[in-house]
Amino acid sequence: MIEGGIPSELPEGWVRVRLDEVAEVRLGRQRSPKNHSGTQMRPYLRAANVGWNGLKLDDVKEMNFTDDEVAIYRLKKGDIVLSEASGSASEVGKPAIWNDEISDCCLQNTLIRVRSYGVDPHYLLYFLRSEAIRGAFVEHSRGVGIHHIGSARLAAWQVPVPPVEEQRRIVAAIEEQLSRLEAGDRSVADALRKTAQYSVLVAQKLLQLEQPASSWPIVRIGDIAKVGSGSTPLRSRQEYYEGGDIPWVTSSLVNESYVDGVSQYITKKALEETSLRLLPPGTLLVAMYGEGKTRGKCTELRIWATTNQACASIALKPEFESRRPWVKAALQAKYEENRKLSSGGVQKNLNLSVIRAIEIPIPPLDEQDRILCELDEQSRAALRLQDEAKLVMQRSATLRHALLTQAFAGRLVRQGPADEPADALLARIRTEREAAGAASSGRRSPRRAPVQRKRTPDTADVNDTPPPLLSDGLALATATQPTLDLEIPS
């Protein structure tokens, strides 16, 4: 039988335990205004510092930790940190391992620290990652909007523990296969990058955007179109939004080639009482704001809509309407160049004057149509390559999931008959913990009456819903574990 995925009869020498039997599970310290400054400022990790491919340490914050707090919350090499909560279900429980990258670093309560008592930390890391990838943590999380796993539920999580030597073999096998998958992913990502660069270069050449002296006339956007922007009606005026049926476009939609639908609407009253204008299909939009890739992007409306102030609208004059596909292609090909025209302090933006001043060449109509046809063929070829690359990446993710699933079902590596069984490791951990507890209790001050605490997901009992085991309907692993051949080319 299989209970949730981990075989009910584990391979010989394995044991199934609660996580807190083999590791300390501790929530980080809560942020507080009083700790934003002080004489003992120290770096700390938060959920934003944990990525699927490891820690992201380019933006590490500081807050005040006393020496006593440091003794509790400081990270040590081999500690695993997990995202305790997230508004995105796929991010809950995402783990990474700490390797002393920053001295004297602590953690915030958006993270849970798992400190192994004797199990290989990398074995625990890959097991917890497997659980996060398959969605087990979010399935058993709590909260509305923000999903919390909670340290109490994590502490009770069921963990299959093999002998120590087998743990090391499993980790080595996982890392060998993952290194191959990561090398393949890097190759695919590089191919995608080169495809995108090639597409831009082809467009610039065909449109004669990079030629110092084009044989075609050069015009400014402001000479061939009416350029404007939208606005954001007062959010405090519910009558501007509630029950609205007029599409309202924000700059996030400009990343697509066309706008066919929106997620936000305004009312007729908002249209009548504000500076908003209803724009017809065929209007081109250019994003003027945005720190990411949005600023400078160009799209085309295929519906009647209004926009916010972050979008510049380009409505071509009637005599230039036949130039719309050309103007759109030129603005898309000049994306990087147009972004460099931004101005401002912390957040650089484009403005309507800059949009009006953008120059593009205008060829004869027959030449325009020929070039656009060739450009369309090139674009379709690039899209096919991108689709194939995405499929390869999806297969890579599937292989990762299969690799981890097999590892923790006892199917990735063979067992060693001479390996010390895991229950001996567990007994040793218990003995060491009891000894450490006895030594610690001898130094304690007289016990005080417990303070009544408010029950939270982290202090509440967890007996109502036991943590899940692995799920995937795997066949029972037997005492002899066949080596898995993933057929990943070297």
Supply the pLDDT for residue 124: 97
| Whole-number pLDDT of residue 316 | 96
- Percent pLDDT > 70 in the chain is 86
The answer, as to whether pTM is greater than 0.75, is no
Q: What is the DSSP letter of 238?
A: G
Residue range 455-467, pLDDT digits in tens? 343 433 334 344 4
208 band by pLDDT with thresholds 50, 70 and 90: confident
Q: Do residues 295 and 289 touch, judged by C-beta distance below 8 A?
A: yes
Q: What pLDDT does residue 422 have?
A: 94
Q: DSSP letters of 252-313?
A: GGGGSSEE---S-EE-HHHHHHSS--PBPTT-EEEE---SSS-TT-EEEESS-BEE-TTEEE
What confidence tier does 266 reach under pLDDT thresholds 50, 70, 90?
very high
439/160 Cα distance (integer angstroms): 30
Query: What pLDDT was estimated at residue 445?
Result: 45
Given this model, what pLDDT does residue 222 score? 96
Average pLDDT, integer, range 88-102: 92
pLDDT at 479 over 60: no
pLDDT per residue as tens digits for the range 397-414: 999 999 999 999 999 999
Q: 34-68, pLDDT tens digit by residue? A: 888 899 999 999 999 999 989 999 999 999 999 99
Alpha-carbon distance of 381 to 196, in angstroms, equals: 11
